[in-house]
């Protein structure tokens, strides 16, 4: 595990770079942000946590969360992300000791890239309050009942088919029931995947694999690899896999213009808001061999795509801008109005802002922290967007049309 502290040839400093008072390169060395930011390459990665500088070049390959998510913070301050992703940061810190190579010079600010120090400190104070008030502790009964209603729906659907056969009406009814149970299982595996249910990470991992693997038929490792990157750098091209549309769509305001100027036309992007309905949600459907399963997956895919995209797709999508944790998450997410139906329908992801700020928080506490987050945003003049469910869905289509129009203009005139 200490291998991450070894120096590679590419990470050797220039003369006078990072040399401590004793001329060595141990924990006594001091660095400037300019020096740290040089080490952001595939074979040379440093990052900063609580002003301590760590060489993660070798360790990144063995990082439990995957090499990419930690590498996205190479050359940057990763303090808020480190605290957000780890339910017990103090436990994890002991594994950082072999990677420690020094700290920031006393003349250096704690934040990089000119971030607002007061805003960062206020958010960290909010995080401390959240922990003190127990908002990161889950209620086991809530998640037990949630799992129970999923299993009940699955059993009822299969029981109906077993007893009364496969008429078209029963097939449709069971497809609706299974689509509901599968969608809700998707939200539940999301809870376990974020380590927000059980007290220990190991139990979260076991139950995550059960729900996503046995109930959903998907890979927990695949989900972890993609989803944590999305949380680390939401709506950032080349870092968030959720905005890598494989040339099928152009997203945001920048990418359409870039494609248009380069005369790239893999698809008729000015019609993407129309063909999204035909190939957007169905892209997540694998090949199946029965009408029953196809109907179920078709319904579930639409449920999944609209819920997950209404919070992100209409928001800012751009290249890396090195924003602080709070500002970055707010620019990439929005909330949907709270109601009993919206909470259930979206798996409480209608509180997308709170979920992204505190990814290990159990979902039943989002509504408790939301007023505190809103107050912090008002204090610093940051947008805190809340939409109706209808408007959020409409905005998905509107954002695709806007991006398609930008592409067409650039393609024809630039």
pLDDT in tens, 353-395: 999 999 999 999 999 999 999 999 999 999 999 999 999 999 9
pLDDT over threshold 90, residue 299: no
Q: Please tell me the distance from the alpha carbon of residue 352 to that of residue 410, in angstroms, as a whole number.
A: 33
Q: Which of 64-68, 104-108, 116-120, 336-340 has the lowest mean pLDDT?
A: 64-68
> Which tokens in the block code for residue 230?
């999305």
Q: Name the nearest CA neighbour of 285 among 275, 293, 273.
A: 293
SS3 call for 53? strand
Alpha-carbon torsion (206, 208, 211, 217), positive or negative:
negative
Which one is predicted more confidently, 402 or 7? 402
> Which tokens in the block code for residue 140?
């086991």
Q: Please tell me the distance from the alpha carbon of residue 47 to that of residue 304, in angstroms, as a whole number.
A: 35
Terminal CA-to-CA distance of the chain, rounded, Å?
A: 52
Q: Name the nearest CA neighbour of 241 among 228, 251, 226.
A: 226
Q: Please tell me the distance from the alpha carbon of residue 241 to that of residue 239, in angstroms, as a whole number.
A: 6
How much is the pTM?
0.89
Mean pLDDT of all residues in 108-123:
95
Q: Name the nearest CA neighbour of 128 among 348, 410, 383, 358.
A: 358
Give the pLDDT score at 15: 36
Give me the residues paired with residue 55 across strands. 46
Q: Please tell me the distance from the alpha carbon of residue 161 to that of residue 240, in angstroms, as a whole number.
A: 41
Report in angstroms the alpha-carbon separations of 141 from 144, 230, 303, 323, 342.
Answer: 5, 29, 26, 38, 21
Per-residue confidence band for 13, with pLDDT thresholds at 50, 70 and 90 = very low
Q: Please tell me the distance from the alpha carbon of residue 411 to that of residue 414, in angstroms, as a whole number.
A: 6
Q: Are 219 and 213 in contact (CB under 8 A)?
A: yes
| CB proximity list for 212: less than 8 A, separation 6 or greater | 185, 189, 192, 193, 218, 219, 220, 223
Give the pLDDT score at 14: 39
Q: Name the nearest CA neighbour of 130 among 82, 186, 170, 84.
A: 84
Give me the residues paired with residue 387 across strands. 336
Mean pLDDT of all residues in 230-244:
96
DSSP state of 355: H
Q: Please tell me the distance from the alpha carbon of residue 112 to that of residue 263, in angstroms, as a whole number.
A: 36
Q: How many CA atoms lie within 13 A of 235 on its CB side?
A: 26
Give the pLDDT score at 28: 77
- Quote the longest CA-to-CA distance of the chain: 81
């Amino acid at each position: 595990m200490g291998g991450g502290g070894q120096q590679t040839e590419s990470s050797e400093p220039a003369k006078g770079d990072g040399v401590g008072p004793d001329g060595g390169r141990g924990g006594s060395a001091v660095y400037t942000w300019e020096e740290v930011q040089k080490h952001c390459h595939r074979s040379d990665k440093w990052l900063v946590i609580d002003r301590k500088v760590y060489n993660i070049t070798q360790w990144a390959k063995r990082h439990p969360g995957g090499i990419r998510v930690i590498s996205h913070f190479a050359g940057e301050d990763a303090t808020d992300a480190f605290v957000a992703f780890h339910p017990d940061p103090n436990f994890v810190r002991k594994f950082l000791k072999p990677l420690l190579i020094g700290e920031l010079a006393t003349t250096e600010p704690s934040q990089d890239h000119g971030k607002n120090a007061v805003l960062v400190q206020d958010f960290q104070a909010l995080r401390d309050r959240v922990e003190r008030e127990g908002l990161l502790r889950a209620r086991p009964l809530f998640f037990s009942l949630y799992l129970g209603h999923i299993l009940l729906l699955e059993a009822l659907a299969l029981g109906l088919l077993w007893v009364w056969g496969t008429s078209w009406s029963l097939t449709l009814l069971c497809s609706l029931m299974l689509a509901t149970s599968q969608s809700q299982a998707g939200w539940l595996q999301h809870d376990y995947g974020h380590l927000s249910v059980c007290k220990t990470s190991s139990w979260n991992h076991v139950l995550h694999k059960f729900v996503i693997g046995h109930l959903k038929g998907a890979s927990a490792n695949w989900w972890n690899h993609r989803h944590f990157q999305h949380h680390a750098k939401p709506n950032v091209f080349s870092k968030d896999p959720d905005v890598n549309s494989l040339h099928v769509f152009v997203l945001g305001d920048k990418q359409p213009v870039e494609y248009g100027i380069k005369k790239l036309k893999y698809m008729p992007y000015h019609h993407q808001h129309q063909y999204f309905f035909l190939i957007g949600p169905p892209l997540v459907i694998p090949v199946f061999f029965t009408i029953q399963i196809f109907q179920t997956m078709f319904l579930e895919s639409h449920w999944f795509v609209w819920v997950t995209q209404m919070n992100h797709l209409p928001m800012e999508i751009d290249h890396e801008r090195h924003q602080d944790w709070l500002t970055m998450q707010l620019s990439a997410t929005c909330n949907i109005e709270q109601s009993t139906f919206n909470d259930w329908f979206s798996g409480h992801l209608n509180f997308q802002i709170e979920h992204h700020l505190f990814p290990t928080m159990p979902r039943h506490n989002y509504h408790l922290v939301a007023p505190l987050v809103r107050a912090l945003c008002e204090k610093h003049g940051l947008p805190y967007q809340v939409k109706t469910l209808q408007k959020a869905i409409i905005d998905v289509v509107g954002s695709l049309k806007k991006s398609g129009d930008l592409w067409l203009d650039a393609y024809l005139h630039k």
